[in-house]
Structure 1
Amino acid sequence: MTAASGIRSFRREDTEAVVALWRDAGLVVPWNDPYRDIERKLGVQPELFLVVEAESAGGRPGVVVGTAMVGFDGHRGWVNYLAVDAAHRGEGIGARLMAEAERLLMERGCPKLNLQVRSTNEGVIEWYRSLGYELDQAVSLGKRLIPDTPPTAP
């Protein structure tokens, strides 16, 4: 097993590894094209698109093992696409990503961080609770304004 290196901002050459990680983590759904989501994020606060990679032998950069897409709209902060490679879960990578997201949002004056978890994903809900997150008494609603095509390579 390799050690995870520091958190850094996404680079374009990370695209395929990030999409593969999201697919493996079950985050890609038919109505969201991950390539389009990456392009959208690169147009708005790209410095808040975080990745963690595992170091390969000799300390060279390795494979992407964690991601978080962070944003601040001036009222609330959001985290999307938090994912950790299954082989690296339990190493604290997700908690480090969330701590960095919180730090970056507080730096920007963000008073509250929101995130969404599928209601059926009880394990992840409990994990967020262990980090101090609570269920809000709110219902999430959504309306697709720009339809995505099925996921495709760029």
Structure 2
Amino acid sequence: MKSKISPFLWFDTQAEEAANFYVGIFPNSKINVVTRYPDAGKEHHGKEAGSVMVVSFELDGQTFSALNGGPMFQFSCAVSFVVECETQEEIDHYWEKLGAGGDPSARQCGWLADQFGLSWQIVPKILPDLVADAGSPGAQRAMGAMMQMKRLDIAALQKAYDG
């Protein structure tokens, strides 16, 4: 079932490149529609007729749209996408693929910025269970361990939780 709500991402000129990059990383993903700028409205949008305007795509069933809107707005880590992972292999896959070409200084506690500046959180599905009870010694140890990590390590988090 499709959600009524979907992310709409503003790029300068890389909407199609970004959509293809993301589709190549996530399973069950595809480009749906590429819409191009018309001559009409050029005095407002300033884009060449026929250049990519919006790319509609799906990542593992979640619909996204990407707009080539110009350089006025940039991504920030105030908005990110969470990728819940069952295994360490999944974490490693998404960390390596999404992080390729991104800002290495923007990596902490499972967060990374990709080559387009978009922020992602690559987290183990078990993480909320490990840190939910903030008063428990196990949760405090797991949180302390997580705060020292860049790429999250499921075994190390579980070991910290277990004491």
TM-score normalised according to structure 1 size: 0.27
Higher strand share: 2
Name the structure where helix makes up a greater proportion of residues: 1
Larger radius of gyration: 2
Structure number with higher relative contact order (C-alpha < 8 Å, ≥ 6 residues apart): 1
